[in-house]
Amino acid sequence: MSHKECIFCEIAKGAVPVKKVYEDEDLLAFWDIAPQAPSHFLIIPRKHIESINDLGDEESTIAGKMVIAAKRISAMSGIDRSGYRFVINCNKDAGQEVFHLHAHVLGGRKFNWPPG
């Protein structure tokens, strides 16, 4: 999929409506349309980056901001005290379906280990 066809790029531009939970100049976070937990949000950079493998030194600030956004979102949604997962899948075998870097924040229930 090209950058021009990327659904998360369209969401970041505002062309596709989502239920936003957080945004700033670099990131957007919104409810997952197919939640795997009572609270399930996605955090995406506004800049198109395909996966963790495509992060460079210049994107280290974005990666850090994604972690801080997860902390803020979990506190806002009330899952910070009971616990939550912050997950980034990298490439097909790990379960990445949309090739635009994104993190899942999941909470509101007890999780098992190991996952998947």
CA-to-CA separations, 28 to 2, 8, 105, 112, in angstroms, rounded:
20, 10, 13, 28
Q: How many C-beta atoms lie closer than 10 Å to residue 81's C-beta?
A: 9
Q: Among 63, 31, 51, which residue's Cα sits nearest to residue 95?
A: 51
Task: State the sign of the Cα–Cα–Cα–Cα dihedral 13, 19, 22, 28.
Answer: negative
Catalytic positions:
102
